[in-house]
Amino acid sequence: MRIDILTLFPAMFDSVLGESILKRAQAKKLIEIKIHNLRDWTFDNHRTADDKPFGGGPGMVMKIEPVWLALCQLGVLRKDLGLKRGARRETRARRRRAKTILLTPQGRRLDQKLAKELAREKSLVLICGHYEGVDERIRELVDEEISIGDYILTCGEIPAMVLIDCVVRLLPGVLGDADSLLSESFENGLLEYPQYTRPAEFKGMKVPSVLLSGDHRKIKEWRRAEALKRTIKKRPDLIGKQ
- CB burial of residue 210 (10 Å; 0-12, 13-18, 19+): middle
CATH code of the domain containing 231: 1.10.1270.20
118 and 205 fall within a common domain: no
Q: Is residue 163 within 8 Å of 110, Cβ to Cβ?
A: yes
Backbone phi and psi for residue 5, each to the nearest 5 degrees, phi listed first: -115, 125
Residues 77 and 149 in one domain: yes
> Considering the domain boundaries, does residue 66 fall inside one?
yes
Q: Is 75 within a domain? A: yes
What is the C-alpha to C-alpha distance for residues 19 and 14, in angstroms, rounded to an integer?
9
**Looking at 118, 150, 168, which one is the last position of a domain?**
168
Q: Does 137 map to a domain?
A: yes
Give the number of other CB atoms < 10 A from CB of residue 33: 18
The answer to whether 47 and 39 have CB atoms below 8 angstroms apart is yes
User: Which residue, 5, 61, 12, 9, is CA-closest to 33?
Assistant: 5
The answer to whether residue 151 is domain-embedded is: yes
CA–CA separation, 195 vs 150, rounded Å? Answer: 30
**Segments forming the whole domain that contains residue 148:** 2-168
Q: Are residues 163 and 185 in the same domain?
A: no
Domains identified in the chain, total number: 2
Do 119 and 40 belong to one domain? yes
Q: Are the C-beta atoms of residues 3 and 126 closer than 8 Å to each other?
A: yes
The pLDDT of residue 92 = 46
Is residue 173 in some structural domain? no
Phi-psi category of 186—alpha, beta or left, where left has phi over 0 and alpha has psi -120 to 50? left
pTM of the entire structure? 0.86
Instruction: Per residue of the chain (242 residues), give pLDDT as tens.
Output: 999 999 999 999 999 999 999 999 999 999 999 999 999 999 999 999 999 999 998 899 999 999 999 999 999 987 665 554 444 444 444 457 899 999 999 999 999 999 999 999 999 999 998 877 899 999 999 999 999 999 989 899 999 999 999 999 999 999 976 666 655 556 678 999 999 999 999 999 999 999 999 999 999 999 999 999 999 999 999 887 75
Residues 68 and 19 reside in one and the same domain: yes
Where among 168, 199, 225 does a domain terminate? 168
Pairing of strands 144-147, 50-51: unpaired
Q: Give the CATH number for residue 51.
A: 3.40.1280.10
Return the number of other C-beta atoms located less than 10 Å from residue 129's C-beta: 25
> What is the maximum alpha-carbon separation in the chain?
71
- Together in a domain, 163 and 228: no
